[in-house]
Structure 1
Amino acid sequence: MSANLDVRALLLCLLLFWILPAAADVFTYIDANGNRVFTDQPKKGAKRVEIPPTNNLNGAPPAQKAPATAKAAKPKPMFHYQLLRILVPEPDATIRSIEGNLIVTVTSEPALQDSHVYRLLLDGQPVGDSGRSPVFPLNNIDRGTHQLSVEIVDELGRVVERTPNQPFHMQRTSLAQKRQAHPCKEGDYGVRPECPLVLKPAD
């Protein structure tokens, strides 16, 4: 009998949870016969029953999830050139310059793309101004053997092509060497820098 009463009480509780509006209060108490009673009317000694929020039955569509942000556009594949080389100086060339000046000329096939630039490297370090011009004037290069190479760089800073290192030799003639090669003549003293008057022999 007690089990039946408990089942009935439980069924009544569930029925009340379903029928009563979400805003209504539900109370429970034990009556004179020892039965548990559920009601929406507060009575002396009754305890308020906490009712969890009900499901949304008003027909409103469920909240839509925010659309996933579009993935970042993948960078376009790198463009490759059929040819990239240094025209001037030729490999292993010897450059003779008192000031250590040199003009480097490069070429590529096909022609340089709109968003690409040339970058010249001297001994592995960028030198001069990167740009679309294939001509790089260099000044005051130390005497000795150096390595030249050229790169093509795209708009994303990626090296598209690069030539192997190409050696050249810079010879900067000193005043002592010039004196040995071209001795001073009478009219050169006081005129040629390597022939100052203080070195002019006595008549």
Structure 2
Amino acid sequence: MTLTTSSSYRIRAALILSVLVVLLFGAVQAGEIYRHVDDQGNVTYSDEPPEKDTKPMELAPLPEVSIPSPERPSNRQNTQEEDTEKTQEREDYERVEIVEPEHESAFWHGGGMVTIRARTEPELIQGHSYQLEFDGERGDTNSSGTFSLNNVDRGTHTVVVHVLDSSGQVITSSDATRFTLHRPSRLN
């Protein structure tokens, strides 16, 4: 990819601004911030005064934000049209749960690798299988309950694991689990 001079400057300016904001907010947490302009006009920020007579900057207090904890959505679908055999199979499973990653967890992986692990209680019945639903799209099936995803985009994702019978019909499903993956931006 070829960048024009103005695009390159914009990217550098955005990166410098981002670093500056992180440093400023981090320093606010740690103590006072000092701004210094040297003889060449270069501006520096520090948590230590560059000169003895320098006064700290007056910064407005950071706003406090409280985020309510979201309710864990349920993806269990119960219909009144289930026949007796399907109802019996559903009752065979007391629980279907995703054990990895934890709900509302956040973690870092530069390559975007994510492992999803699910289990049932009691253990999976022979002939049944697990199916992964990642961000609303159904995908792989297996009998182990472990799914490895590669090159997952950074951001928040939702996974659900379904238990399928031998004909591929959904018997029961786990609750939705949300996680946030941190990884480097494609711009860097």
TM-score normalized with structure 1 length: 0.47
- How far off is 1:174 after superposition? 4.0
Matches within 5 A, 1:19-168: 77-78=85-86, 79-80=89-90, 81-127=93-139, 129-168=140-179
| SS of 2:85 mapped into structure 1 | coil
Q: Percent identity?
A: 30
Q: Is the 8 A contact 1:117 1:132 kept in 2?
A: yes
Cα RMSD (Å):
1.9
- What residue ranges of structure 1 are gaps of 5+ in the alignment? 1-74, 178-203
List 4+ stretches of structure 1 deviating above 6 A: none
In 2, the alpha carbon distance for the partners of 1:112 and 1:86 equals 14
In 2, the alpha carbon distance for the partners of 1:76 and 1:140 equals 42
* Number of equivalences: 102
In 2, the alpha carbon distance for the partners of 1:114 and 1:175 equals 43
In 1, the alpha carbon distance for the partners of 2:150 and 2:130 equals 18
In 2, the alpha carbon distance for the partners of 1:164 and 1:82 equals 13
Equivalent position of 1:15 in the other structure? none
**Equivalent AA in structure 2 for residue 132 of structure 1:** S
In 1, the alpha carbon distance for the partners of 2:183 and 2:177 equals 20
Change over 3 Å in CA distance of 1:110–1:174 after alignment to 2 = same
TM-score normalized with structure 2 length: 0.51
Please identify the structure whose Cα radius of gyration is greater. Answer: 1
**Equivalent AA in structure 1 for residue 179 of structure 2:** F
- Further displaced range: 146-155 or 162-171: 162-171
CA displacement 1:132-178 (0-9 Å, x = unmatched): 0121111111111110110000012210011122110011124887x
- How far off is 1:105 after superposition? 0.7
In 2, the alpha carbon distance for the partners of 1:105 and 1:175 equals 28
In 2, the alpha carbon distance for the partners of 1:176 and 1:157 equals 42
Greater relative contact order (Cα 8 A, min sep 6): structure 1 or 2? 2
